[in-house]
Amino acid sequence: MKLKTTLLAGAIAFAPLTAFAADLTIGFSQIGSESGWRAAETTVTKQEAERRGIDLKFADAQQKQENQIKAIRSFIAQGVDAILLAPVVATGWDEVLEEAQDAEIPVVLLDRTVDAPDDLYLTAVTSDLVHEGKVAGEWLAGAVGDDKCRIVELQGTTGSSPAIDRKTGFEQGIAGNDNLEIVRSQTGDFTRSQGKVVMESFLKAEGGENICALYAHNDDMAVGAIQAIKEAGLKPGEDIKIVAIDAVPDAHLAIANGEMNATIELTPNMAGPALDALEAYLANGTVPPKWIQTESRLFTSADDNQAIYEQKKDLGY
């Protein structure tokens, strides 16, 4: 049974209810399966729910915000206990989040943030997306030294918080290095196929020999770009340095093979901390912090990437 709450400015806006995890029904609006990392997050979320005896209602939005809004409305109509939302883009959520709030259903954001008042969701489990970009930029600045370096950038999905924040962070990371310049920047939509297509266009427009480095907002786009670079007769990782984000198994393999140089790890286990927070909140009203930050870690050729690849490859990526 849900308890009624009085909404106070700045106070938590959802009613806690007393329930055991085994009784919980949680809706999960997932973006889709654009990347290996996304597929792993879906797998881990389903496993975490099953392990806790939670009935997880899963909805794949196939990259469309309108499908996510429909799924959330359907979860509200079904009277779920809570909603997990991985928001495809940052804007346009206020109305549906208000509907969830009116229904006293707490929403937890997974891996991406939204531009909405933070009293409309219980907490957000994400990495520091700006920091990830900054680490990538600082790594590249260090790897290049004083040489002139013309950089191409593959952005994530337009309007998504990782695309916005990883771009900002990277620019911060290379700031003050006048020898580094981003000469092309375009979305590859976080997919391998688009990463390849857009890298082909960069190579054609700039000439491969004039590109010193690629910064990709995720590993899948970097892996697609590696293929394009090879097909252009160049050596990825040598002729063109490559840094990306996620640390999926294929990125570790590419680093082990000398075809990529660095990646920053994003854990696919957002559901663990999210469900911990929800269970505590629903059981006894424990209010989590508004941001539950996951760790980011840089991997380079200094790490044993072959061994890490072997460890990670069976984890559902």
The smaller minimum CB distance to ligand AHR, of residues 213 and 248, is found at 248
Minimal distance in Å, beta carbon 228 to ligand AHR?
18
Structure tokens at 183: 């000469």
Helix axes 94-102, 65-78, angle to 10 degrees: 10
Pick one of 245, 260, 270, 282: the residue that binds ligand AHR (CB under 6 A).
245
Minimal distance in Å, beta carbon 294 to ligand AHR?
11
Q: Please report where in the chains the tokens 């809004």 appear, as a residue.
A: 69
Tell me if 35 contacts ligand AHR by CB under 6 A.
yes
Scan residues 60-119 and list those touching ligand AHR (CB under 6 A). 111-112
Tell me if 246 contacts ligand AHR by CB under 6 A.
yes
Tell me if 162 contacts ligand AHR by CB under 6 A.
yes
- Separation between Cα atoms, residue 271 and residue 48, nearest integer Å: 7
Residues 6+ apart with CB under 8 A from 75: 27, 29, 57, 59, 83, 105
Pick one of 30, 38, 116, 250: the residue that binds ligand AHR (CB under 6 A).
38
Q: Please report where in the chains the tokens 């375009």 appear, as a residue.
A: 186
- Separation between Cα atoms, residue 198 and residue 4, nearest integer Å: 52
| Adjacent-strand bridge partners of 299 | 263
- Separation between Cα atoms, residue 97 and residue 73, nearest integer Å: 10
The smaller minimum CB distance to ligand AHR, of residues 57 and 112, is found at 112
Pick one of 12, 29, 34, 261: the residue that binds ligand AHR (CB under 6 A).
34
Minimal distance in Å, beta carbon 7 to ligand AHR?
30
Give phi and psi for 284, each to the nearest 5: -145, 15
| Only segment of 30-38, 201-209, 234-242, 294-302 that touches ligand AHR (CB under 6 A) | 30-38
Tell me if 252 contacts ligand AHR by CB under 6 A.
no
Which one, of 181, 187, 157, 160, lies nearest residue 199 by Cα?
Answer: 187
Minimal distance in Å, beta carbon 31 to ligand AHR?
7
Q: Which DSSP symbol is given to 214?
A: E
The smaller minimum CB distance to ligand AHR, of residues 111 and 250, is found at 111
Going by their DSSP bridges, the two strands 262-266 and 296-300 should be labelled as: antiparallel
Minimal distance in Å, beta carbon 155 to ligand AHR?
12
Residues 6+ apart with CB under 8 A from 82: 24, 26, 27, 105, 106, 107, 108, 122, 278, 282
Tell me if 273 contacts ligand AHR by CB under 6 A.
no
Q: Which DSSP symbol is given to 2?
A: B
| Only segment of 31-39, 56-64, 73-81, 235-243 that touches ligand AHR (CB under 6 A) | 31-39
Pick one of 26, 54, 124, 266: the residue that binds ligand AHR (CB under 6 A).
266
Residues that bind ligand AHR (CB under 6 A): 34-35, 37-38, 111-112, 162, 190, 218, 220, 245-246, 266
